[in-house]
Amino acid sequence: MSDIRTLGEFIVEKQHDFPHASGELSSLLSSIKLAAKIVNREINKAGLVDITGAFGGENVQGEEQQKLDVYANDKFKAALEARDQVCGVASEEEDEAVSFNKELSQNAKYVVLMDPLDGSSNIDVNVSVGTIFSVYRRVSPVGTPATEEDFLQPGNQQVAAGYIIYGSSTMLVYTTGNGVHGFTYDPSLGVFCLSHESLQTPEDGRIYSINEGNYFRFPMGVKKYIKFCQENVPEDDRPYTSRYIGSLVSDFHRNLLKGGIYLYPSTATHPNGKLRLLYECNPMAFLIEQAGGKASDGVGRIMDIKPTELHQRVPFFVGSTNMVEKVEAFLAEFPDQD
């Protein structure tokens, strides 16, 4: 037991990596950790209680909300507001950013952006889902309500980002710009324990993750890349393999550990792609860069994009550096959409 390092202990140990936070990061991540445990409990009861299925409404993107989407959104929002380290949140499930009105909250330095339950439509079939979060220092004056400008910052201004994956085990993976660290939840102790310190993703990989059902709607460069993966065998004679779960957190987590690329390109029907820059792409880009990988919109670095709206969408290519650069090369060589 003496060798176990909990998430809380690890954050305190690494506090020197985040000197301007003076304990605030620990409190903020504790809020996320608490909400994750609550959501994890409900996910594990899915099928036994009335928590699965559609909620009956749509989010701002016109997508049908699942009951667990709404539940997770409420729990994470409440946990973040309770600790007074966050002045506001923006969520994929909310039309507008939410400014916390308590005086102590308005004195907070940080805002959080989140996808409270990525891949929630998979709950009914017992497939892994996740939560994605991103933390920024506010740009509005401390002591005032949070503004939309606090949330419309490029990803290179993130001070922390991470995800929780609810699967065969539950893991919390985060970065503050000093490496990527993973913690596995021990339900017998009720704590997240350090299981993956200083994660590094392979420079190259053999896994490509994309919904090939949309193949005929993809840009020509992406089609050429898929054909490249199908028809070429790398020098070590291990062929490329297609693995696609349909949950960004799950696909990203596997590729982070094993090496690979996740692709969600533009299509004829969605010329800007479908993934959200602020809630999905920026936090995953921060994580993969800290782990030695790369994230791109097919042309340039994801984290250098200046957002113009809360629910902005972008094409997304993320994973092992060599694989992302190969896709970029194909997109540059075949720029026209077919």
Please name the residue that has the structure tokens 């339950």: 117
Note the pLDDT of residue 181: 97
Q: Region of 53 please: left (phi>0), alpha (psi -120 to 50) or beta.
A: left
Note the pLDDT of residue 42: 87
d(CA 189, CA 327): 44
Rg (CA), the chain: 19
Note the pLDDT of residue 121: 75
Give CA angle at 167 (164, 170), nearest 5°: 45
d(CA 317, CA 294): 8
Collapse the DSSP code of 21 into the 3-class scheme (helix H, G, I; strand E, B; otherwise coil) and give the result: helix
Annotated binding-site residues for substrate read: 118-121, 211, 244, 262-264, 274
Phi, psi of 302 (to 5 degrees): -55, -45
Q: Where are the alpha helices (DSSP H) in the chain?
A: 7-13, 24-44, 67-82, 103-106, 148-151, 220-231, 248-258, 282-290, 321-333
Residue (of 186, 316, 314, 203) closest to 256 by Cα position? 203
Annotated binding-site residues read: 92, 115, 117-121, 211, 244, 262-264, 274, 280
Residue 268: which H helix or E strand, with range? none
- Cβ atoms of 129 and 43 closer than 8 Å: yes
> What does the pLDDT profile of the chain (338 residues) look like in tens digits?
457 899 988 988 887 766 666 678 888 999 999 999 999 988 887 654 444 445 445 555 555 667 888 999 999 999 999 988 999 999 999 999 999 988 888 999 999 999 999 987 777 777 889 999 999 999 999 999 999 999 999 999 999 999 999 988 999 999 999 999 999 999 999 999 999 999 999 999 999 999 999 999 999 999 999 999 999 887 777 799 999 999 999 999 999 999 999 999 999 889 999 999 999 999 999 999 999 999 999 999 999 999 999 999 999 999 999 999 999 999 999 986 44
**Which amino acid is present at 175?**
T
Note the pLDDT of residue 238: 79
Q: Would you give the DSSP letter of residue 278?
A: I
DSSP result, 107-144: T--EEEEEEEEETGGGGGGT--EEEEEEEEE--SPTTS
Annotated binding-site residues for Mg(2+) read: 92, 115, 117-118, 280
d(CA 289, CA 38): 30
Residue (of 171, 48, 66) closest to 122 by Cα position? 66
Domains in the chain, CATH or no CATH each: 7-196 (3.30.540.10), 207-333 (3.40.190.80)
d(CA 14, CA 26): 10
Note the pLDDT of residue 200: 98
Note the pLDDT of residue 338: 44
Note the pLDDT of residue 22: 62
**Which amino acid is present at 164?**
I
Note the pLDDT of residue 60: 58
Note the pLDDT of residue 2: 54
- Cβ atoms of 266 and 273 closer than 8 Å: yes
